[in-house]
Chain A
Amino acid sequence: MRSRTRIARAGRGLLIPLVTVVLAFIAGGFVVLFTGHDPFSTYGAIFDGTGLNWLFPWVTGTARTTAAFNLQQTLVAATPLILTGLSVAFAFRVGLFNIGAQGQYTVGGVMAVWIGSIFPNMNPVLHIVLAIAAAALMGAAWAAIAGWLRAVVGTHEVLSTIMLNWIAIWVATYLFQAGGPLQSTTEAGNPVSNTIVPSAHLPVIWGNPLLQGLSIGIFISLAAAVAFWAIMNRSTLGYEIRAVGHSPDAARGAGISVARSYAVTMAICGVFAGLAAATDVLGWEFQISTGDLTISQVGFLGIAVALLGRNTAIGTVAAALLFGALETGTSVRALNSNVFNPELASQLTLIIEGLVVLLVSTDLIAVRILGLPAKLGLGRPRAGTALDRGVPDEAATAAAVTEGLEGKLEQGV
């Protein structure tokens, strides 16, 4: 009986995001239909674009080579999304809303590119570890500012992280712009950083290192997800974090310092976001231009990833893979333009992502349609009991997320 309720609970946790995604895809299908295309062949082409067809043994020859390349791109895109997703999810669990993953990612990237480029002849292992550690610590320090402000002064973390995002982006822009202190020493006129030396490149495990092959960054992401799970579910720190997230009053009553939990949690979030930057910079980017800084949305997408992943480690990994696949599958490079215009397709991705976020953060539609609680015998929440799902303020969440996605639409990425 115990395992049954557990399975029921897990099933509910899994079903709602799944239904949400399906609904979003169906809605996206109608959009495709309105543009005068066939939704089935479009989704088929997108699927091929993600490289997931590589998993089918009957795909052979050049199709297989293309599929392998596309799948590498999907995983490369998913790598930092996993980490920024974890960053946001970790904060959610203590009841904080970390909109600052983007800023933490930015400062982490600056550190990674700086350390990766200033030591010309270091031992590669040492160099990589040093650059990763520097990025993670920088992200942690940046996030800790927001945690500290919330813990000590009471400044709401949504405000402080948004501000810190802009500060990070503009400081980094200043550093790399023409005449800036960290601007490239070899490309005098360009607003770019120095290029990382080979000893700091993450080893590529699949594909061509010169064509954005898949680096060991994916293992860093997965290891971080495992660490997330272990800290959250098996450590005293995670136990405190969850207690504070569910009920600060009860946590306080048990002698847990809520302020300390906020500060520590934010610092850990920053580690995840900083690692995300390290995997990108050391894995395939190797150089940062000021243009990248404002265009990058990895941190904001992390919010959507965390929401869809229900703030769990495994859910975040799955959601990041989905988002990474969508981005790759609809990219100009991967999508068969005879079937659907990739320009339109990337907008389609945004629509699907936006719908997913909206549906997940309201949660209602999937629940209504399935009538899930009754079917799984879970009942509605007890009268007077706010069933905490670990999401601090859903309205604010949805609003901020849509804002992030809108920003992306405007920039027409």
Chain B
Amino acid sequence: MTDQPPVLELREITKRFGPVVANDRVDFDLRAGEVHALLGENGAGKSTLMSVLYGLYSPTSGEILVDGRPVRIDSPNDAIDLGIGMVHQHFMFIPVMTITENIVLGSEPVRTGVGHTLGVLDRRTARDRVRELSDRYGLAVDPDARIEDVSVGMQQRVEILRALYRNARILVLDEPTAVLTAQEITELMGVIQRLKADGTAIIFISHKLGEVLEVADRVTVLRRGRSMGTVPRAGATEQSLARMVVGRDVIFRVEKEEATPGDPILEVEDLHVVDDRGLEAVRGATLTVRAGEIVALAGVDGNGQTELVEAITGIRAPVSGRVRVDGADITGRGVRRATEAGVAHIAQDRHRVGLVLPFTLAENLGLRRYRRPPLSRLGWLNLRSFAERAAGLISAFDVRGGGAETPAYALSGGNQQKVCIAREIDSEPRLLVAHQPTRGLDVGAIEFVHSRLIEQRDAGRGVLLVSLESEEVRSLADRILVIYEGRIVAEFPPEASEEELGIAMTGGTVVGA
């Protein structure tokens, strides 16, 4: 092992974006058949380092060696030729094409004979190859479904298949579990084990320390662009890794006082909502959130959470039922009315709904308040107010990687999330709807967001937390509601066990309700 060169070695990689040093002389190596985890705070430079490896960015300086030989990687095509595959933090697909087409895109097998001359796609061969790979590694996909119609989990399996289809020996998984359900995560771990057994080397990025300890052989930690060193899994604990990541001790348990709920703020009554395809996703949901409490909505992804949240926040009009905030009926009255009634919304999809990516942080932070002074007067913007307010929020919420004039797309995922949270909390809502608020955040940032949510509760606001993480649900909630197939099927106190919740979430008989 020691006399064989590592399959991949990064030497002294530095990457600057203007004044920002995203990677600062980072060393990293990867051996065949190993899982090497990359940890680090939001904005530490993990995705950037991987983009350099994959030829998306050219490094400012530094060297990449594959099988001990220096290589130049100027584009993803170069990377693919060297056997490097990548599953991005945010997927890149052509949504209307089928799964098979997306997988083979760029290296299509063509038919023989006349078909060859015409470059006709050999669908049969393509499908067989995809089938074979998916069977071997347990990556279940439906080859003929269109990408836009399948779950995020399946999209991710498609990404992995796409890399394997191009004979990747080195596979980069950038936060693969952030978008998956618990069940899918378990499956992914199995896939990783099988790939490893076949000699594939894997770089695994995650903010979830438990996962890292489960799957990784070695762990490298980045902090503010620099490597803090590499440690073997043996001997590492969640505490020790967290300390390496943020440079201090992290409190995993959420500290909070007993809730003192007041009057109802949000009242949802027998709500029915249909999804984009016209199917009924919410089928008679009834729930109440009172002032000064955090109510968590727990459930397996796809049980109507998204549509319920959209109906409460005014994005989607329900077909029937009532939504009241502080007694005011806002059913189907739109986002603006909901905002006026005091509803704030931390959207689950920050890229699509939460942020206008090309807008600056100042512009993004103004999205809820631009209609009123001081941000605007008589229809004219006051840019100085925008900038001042942004500067205040950026420092109050510890947004790193840019200032008021930085476009939102230049921030790391976690810092983008902080921008969304800052904006929503700053709107001084009556009800804060937090939909997967810590998705993709580092341990320090999660701690930060959790204490913000509790602060909101203690300030007498109602908080509706929608989360797929049962850990988060149980540690934050004052009451847990379980949603299953569009209905609220059970209510639990926060002390409920993981098993009880799990049974209710999968539609099992409810005991404690």
Residues of A in contact with B (beta carbons under 8 Å apart): 1-2, 4-6, 8, 234-237, 239, 242-243, 246-247, 249-255, 257, 374, 377-385, 387-388
Contact = CB atoms under 8 A, between A and B. Distances in A.
Give the one of A237, A254, A388 with max B CB within 10 A: A254
Contacts of A383: 47, 51, 56, 88-90, 92
Interface stretch (B267-275, B318-326, B354-362, B466-474): B354-362
7 contacts: A4-B19, A243-B363, A254-B367, A255-B338, A377-B18, A380-B56, A383-B51
B314 interface: yes
A384 B359 contact: no
A243 B409 contact: no
A36 B358 CA distance: 48
Interface in B337-386: 338-339, 345, 347, 351-359, 363, 366-368, 370-371, 376, 379-381, 383
Contact of B353 (A239, A253, A378): A253
Q: Give the 3 A-B residue pairs with the shortest CB-CB distance, closest first.
A: A384-B90, A255-B335, A255-B336
B380 A247 contact: no
A237 B376 CA distance: 11
B18 A4 contact: yes
A62 B51 CA distance: 64
Given A247-B356, A383-B51, 7 more contacts: A5-B405, A235-B379, A236-B370, A239-B370, A250-B356, A255-B368, A387-B409
A239 B358 CA distance: 12
Contacts of B354: 250, 253
A163 to B, nearest CB: 27
Given A251-B356, A383-B90, A235 B18 contact: no
Contacts of B315: 252-253
B451 interface: no
Interface of B: 16-19, 47, 51, 56-58, 88-92, 314-315, 334-336, 338-339, 345, 347, 351-359, 363, 366-368, 370-371, 376, 379-381, 383, 403, 405, 409-410
Given A253-B345, A374-B58, A377-B18, A388 B358 contact: yes
A385 B90 contact: yes
Given A250-B352, A250-B354, A379 B57 contact: yes
Contacts, number: 109
A4 B403 CA distance: 13
Contact of B359 (A1, A4, A243, A380): A243
Contacts of B314: 255
Nearest to A240: B370
Contacts of A377: 16-18
A382 B356 contact: no
Contacts of A388: 357-358
A236 B376 CA distance: 7
Given A254-B368, A387-B409, A236 B379 contact: yes
Given A252-B315, A384-B89, A388-B357, A5 B18 contact: yes
B227 to A, nearest CB: 21
A234 B383 contact: yes
A338 B51 CA distance: 58
Contact of B334 (A242, A243, A255): A255
A309 to B, nearest CB: 18
Nearest to A1: B19
Nearest to B404: A2
Contacts of B357: 246-247, 250, 385, 388
A20 to B, nearest CB: 22
Contacts of A237: 379
B88 A384 contact: yes
Contacts of A382: 47, 51, 409-410
Contacts of A1: 18-19
A299 B28 CA distance: 57
Nearest to B352: A249
B18 A8 contact: yes
A387 to B, nearest CB: 7
Given A383-B90, A385-B409, A246 B381 contact: no
A189 B409 CA distance: 63
Nearest to B335: A255
Nearest to A2: B405
A379 B56 CA distance: 9
A6 B405 contact: yes
Contacts of A381: 409
Contacts of A6: 405
Contacts of A385: 90, 351, 357, 409
A252 B314 CA distance: 10
A404 B126 CA distance: 42
Nearest to B313: A253
A255 B339 contact: yes
Contacts of B355: 247, 250
Given A242-B359, A249-B352, A255-B334, A380 B57 contact: yes
Contacts of A384: 88-92, 351
Contacts of B363: 239, 243
Contacts of B56: 380, 383
Interface hub of A234, A251, A255 (most chain B Cβ within 10 A):
A255
Contacts of B58: 374
B414 to A, nearest CB: 14
